[in-house]
Amino acid sequence: MAGYSGRFAPSPTGLLHAGSLVAALASWLDARAHQGRWLVRIEDVDTPRCTPGAGEQILQQLARCGLVPDGPVLWQSQRGEIYQRALDQLIAQDLAYPCGCSRKDIEAAQTSPTERHRAQVYPGTCRAGLNGKPVRAWRLNLQAVREARSLPTITPWSDRRLGEQTEDVAAAVGDFVLRRADGLWAYQLAVVVDDAAQGVSDVVRGEDLADNTARQIVLQHALGLPTPRYLHTPLVLGSNGEKLSKQNGAEPLDVAAPLQALQQAALALNLPQARSASSVTQALQGWLEAWRTLYC
């Protein structure tokens, strides 16, 4: 695929674990299968949650596993001015507005119980004005974006593994945050701006991030940015049946034996065990052929 560019974008709230290696391996294999480039972005925009030095250690973990980026590493914490320009663009086009609502305000406005692990739907309280409240955050005006960009109410998208998907972003989350009340940049804005800046054509990431996709597509349209193709990989589950994560007790990845760690990641992706491989390089090459058959 001409112009293919993929990326792996870990958050340095800790070191890589078994689940994050699955996403790293999948994105690397997809880039190599398409004869494209593979980039790494350290998503350290949420600075209070980041562990000092974790970003550098993640890069070392990846290198031990033979996963070396094809270009400079991008650090989100260094890109505040870029995100501000994107927000300014949306404000100038009346596609974003200030919000003075607290979490208690949003909770009090809910008309039905919120599902576990899902954010509360923002009801658009400040869309018509702050009514004397101080500015806490900035939100995307979904209604204005739909009208300005002639978008349907239901956002459709196609996943290379999950198939055809749809979401009504207004009903699912409402006007979502672009800049948070603590002054930090929201994940959705940073990801969309950086994917475009890095020329990412294909996003390969864990299935737990699939429900972010519709929001990101709407924001891409709002900013006039291209929409990548998406592939969401199977989740690695912890002993409690929930997604393996740092918050769920995932242990840091042991890369003293990188081939063994990669074997486990390959198993989660339904790739064959590279029992005859004597090196990381040899194993990666074998999985590359299997990836082409399964996912390309």
**Can you give the pLDDT at residue 1?**
44
Residue 68 lies in a domain: yes
Residue 188 lies in a domain: no
- Residue 165 CB burial class (10 angstroms; 0-12, 13-18, ≥19): middle
**Segments forming the whole domain that contains residue 262:** 5-77+199-208+228-295
* Residue range 45-86, pLDDT digits in tens: 999 999 999 999 999 999 999 999 999 999 999 999 999 999
List average pLDDT for each run of 10 residues in the chain, which is 296 residues long.
Answer: 87 92 97 97 96 97 97 97 98 98 89 65 95 96 98 98 97 97 97 98 96 98 98 78 59 88 94 89 95 92
Residue 172 lies in a domain: yes
Q: Are residues 136 and 84 in the same domain?
A: yes
Distance CA 109, CA 211 (A): 23
Distance CA 177, CA 81 (A): 17
Q: Are residues 86 and 56 in the same domain?
A: no
**Can you give the pLDDT at residue 236?**
79
Q: Are residues 203 and 264 in the same domain?
A: yes
Q: Are residues 84 and 49 in the same domain?
A: no
Give the count of domains, the chain: 2
Strand partners, 137: 99
Q: How many CB atoms lie within 10 A of CB 75?
A: 14
Residue 218 lies in a domain: no
Q: Are residues 84 and 127 in the same domain?
A: yes
Task: Mention every residue, 6+ apart, whose C-beta is less than 8 A from residue 115.
Answer: none
Distance CA 23, CA 157 (A): 20
**Can you give the pLDDT at residue 207?**
94
Domain with 120 in it: what CATH number?
Answer: 3.90.800.10
Residue 52 main-chain phi, psi, to 5 deg: -55, 130
Residue 204 lies in a domain: yes
Residue 155 lies in a domain: yes
How big is the CA angle at 198 (ends 204 and 146), to the nearest 5 degrees? 75
| CA nearest neighbour of 67 among 295, 290, 280 | 280
Q: Are residues 98 and 140 in the same domain?
A: yes
Alpha-carbon distances of 117 from 113, 120, 208, 243, 277, rounded to whole Å:
12, 10, 11, 12, 40
Domain with 9 in it: what CATH number?
Answer: 3.40.50.620
**Can you give the pLDDT at residue 127?**
96
Residue 27 lies in a domain: yes
